A and B are shown apart, each in its own frame.
Chain A
Amino acid sequence: MPVKVMIPTPLRPYAGKRDSAEFNAHTVGEALGHLTTQFADLRRHLFTEDGKLRSFVNVYVNDEDIRYLAKENTPTKDGDTISIIPSIAGGCR
């Protein structure tokens, strides 16, 4: 069984309106790579131009934030769920 990537509401219009997708992947980075290959319009919303995850994009494997694991090199195993959770920021100047 592959890993499941949960797609947050604001990104679903760029993923064929799907709320999840499944991929065979051994790391978080590999799964996100498959996701943005299948749905290329997602890439600019998840990654900066130099290919880094945007700061307000939070990624969890099951309930663990990958920032506290091995970031995009965090290993995944069959049946894991990867969740993309937005954080929201802004300000007047």
Chain B
Amino acid sequence: MSSAPTLWISGHLAEKVRAHGKETYPHECCGALLGRDADAAARTDSEKDAIAPEREILSLFPLVNRRDDSPRNRFSVTSEDVLAAERAAREQGLEVVGWYHSHPDHPARPSQYDRDHAWPWYSYIIVSVQSGAPQEMTSWRLNDDRQEFFPEGIEIRQRAAV
């Protein structure tokens, strides 16, 4: 987990994340990233041998931001929503590999608050939405000692994994 990882996502899904951020502006949007991870136990031996991305997003599970009190600068996904996202992933033969949210009128950089509330392993996609227009999109992972997020490359692919 220490080497710089890369997250694969189709252009279509990347556009859906941006569109969600635009739709909920000036509030933060949020949702689950469903896909496959090379380390996941669900992979068969033959899949492990194939050339495959380390982690690929194959579907999205958009969620409602539960932070009614402060939706412009906070988002919250309840444990019930997490379980719903995991169920949706299982039904598609996938797993929840991360989460996305928007930063309205703020850069696509994780805040201290983001870090304090992050889980390891998950990919955290952030899309900056400036004056209602989606801009930069970045992805981050928490390091093992919780002290910092490290950036994860985003590789836009035009087709899904085999």
- Number of B residues near A (Cβ < 8 Å) is 38
Main secondary structure of the interface of B (DSSP, over half): loop
Task: Give B124's nearest chain A residue, CB to CB.
Answer: A90
Nearest Cβ distance between residue B90 and chain A, in whole angstroms? 11
CA distance A87 to B122 in the complex (A): 12
Q: Which residues of A contact B121 (CB under 8 A)?
A: 9-13
- Residue A90 contacts which of B96, B101, B105, B145 (CB distance < 8 angstroms)? B101
- Number of A residues near B (Cβ < 8 Å) is 25
- B26-41, CB under 8 A of A: which get 1 and which 0? 0010100000000101
Nearest Cβ distance between residue B29 and chain A, in whole angstroms? 12
A10-B120, A13-B120, A41-B144 in contact; A91/B82 too (CB < 8 A)?
A: no
- Residue A44 contacts which of B30, B111, B145 (CB distance < 8 angstroms)? B145
Q: Which residues of A contact B67 (CB under 8 A)?
A: 89, 91
- Residue A58 contacts which of B79, B103, B120 (CB distance < 8 angstroms)? B79
CA distance A87 to B28 in the complex (A): 16
Main secondary structure of the interface of A (DSSP, over half): mixed
CA distance A19 to B86 in the complex (A): 14
Q: Is the CB of B30 within 8 A of A88?
A: yes
- Residue B113 contacts which of A14, A45, A85, A91 (CB distance < 8 angstroms)? A91
CA distance A92 to B72 in the complex (A): 8
Q: Is the CB of A91 within 8 A of B119?
A: no
Q: Is the CB of B106 within 8 A of A88?
A: no
A positions within 8 Å CB-CB of B = 8-14, 17, 19, 41, 44-45, 55-56, 58, 65, 85-93
